[in-house]
């Protein structure tokens, strides 16, 4: 949502104070960009009864920094969801050079997580609040037979989908809408209005359909429900021209199914100041 000038000034003042406190405590802000295979994770967020990405990063933090250091992610990917560009941030006291951190992490992390980049950022940087846009991709294998090597990364649909209808339907998601009808039932959120900057559908020579959605932020399961809705469009169950009225209805039962988690990948996260590391 757009910030008012007054709110922006308040945010800047809070950030200035955070910077002062951080300097007083000798803290550095470290931003990590991660890739992970979500197949064997219970999601991003730490849980008592499941292996999580945040939990594995924080275990390694204790080994590297000699103390517990919490990380905050740009989004809480669900169990089975993958990432090529998840971002997390931490505040820590350390003399380790930031350019050395990816190698240090990658020698200690399990094989299904990789740190792609480490950057120094202001301690006031917030990986959620400072987001300008996020990009997710949902992949569908639309072929006669399953591909066993892609079973954890694509949703298999054997019936040929109408790509042109899916493309038309995707265009109606672009813009600012109340997407409560495209969120998990029973969602607890004070604001369900989200802005989608682009929603594209393409098919490659390997019969993989990619739904690529870019927006400021997303409700829980929103991209997976958009994907499920576009699959219904491709199958002829939903007319593409009905998408605007489905959005306007705010009725979850009128949208498509929630597509399985394993077809979804968090691709990119962009920030308000892309040169945030240049303090």
The 10s digit of each residue's pLDDT in 163-178 is: 999 999 999 999 999 9
Dihedral (Cα; 227, 232, 234, 237), 10-degree rounding: -160
Q: Is the dihedral of CA 233, 239, 245, 250 positive or negative?
A: negative
pLDDT in tens, 266-275: 999 999 876 5
pTM: 0.91
Q: How many residues does the chain have?
A: 279
What's the half-sphere exposure (Cβ side, CA atoms, 13 Å) at 71? 28
Place of tokens 């200690």: 108
Residues catalogued as catalytic: 78
pLDDT in tens, 202-248: 999 999 999 999 999 999 999 999 999 999 999 999 999 999 999 99
């Amino acid at each position: 949502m757009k910030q008012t000038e007054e709110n922006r000034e308040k945010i800047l003042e809070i950030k200035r104070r955070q910077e002062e406190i951080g300097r007083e405590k000798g803290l550095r802000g470290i931003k990590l960009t991660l890739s992970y295979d979500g197949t064997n994770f219970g999601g991003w967020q730490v849980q008592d009864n499941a292996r999580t990405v945040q939990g594995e990063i924080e275990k390694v933090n204790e080994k590297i920094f000699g103390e517990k250091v919490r990380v905050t992610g740009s989004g809480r990917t669900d169990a089975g969801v993958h990432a090529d560009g998840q971002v997390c941030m931490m505040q820590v006291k350390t003399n380790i050079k930031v350019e050395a951190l990816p190698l240090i992490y990658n020698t200690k992390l399990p094989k299904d997580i990789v740190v792609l980049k480490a950057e120094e950022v202001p301690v006031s940087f917030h990986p959620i609040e400072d987001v300008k846009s996020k990009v997710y991709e949902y992949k569908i294998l639309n072929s006669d037979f399953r591909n066993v090597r892609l079973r954890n990364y694509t949703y298999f649909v054997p019936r040929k989908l109408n790509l042109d209808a899916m493309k038309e339907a995707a265009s109606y998601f672009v813009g600012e809408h109340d997407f409560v009808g495209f969120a998990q039932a029973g969602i607890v959120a004070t604001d369900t209005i989200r802005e989608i900057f682009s929603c594209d559908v393409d098919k490659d020579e390997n019969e993989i359909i990619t739904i690529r959605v870019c927006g400021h932020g997303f409700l829980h399961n929103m991209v997976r429900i958009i994907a499920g809705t576009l699959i219904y469009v491709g199958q002829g169950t939903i007319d593409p021209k009905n998408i605007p009225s489905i959005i306007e209805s705010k009725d979850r039962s009128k949208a498509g199914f929630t597509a399985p988690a394993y077809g979804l990948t968090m691709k990119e996260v962009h920030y308000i100041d892309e040169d945030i590391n240049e303090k």
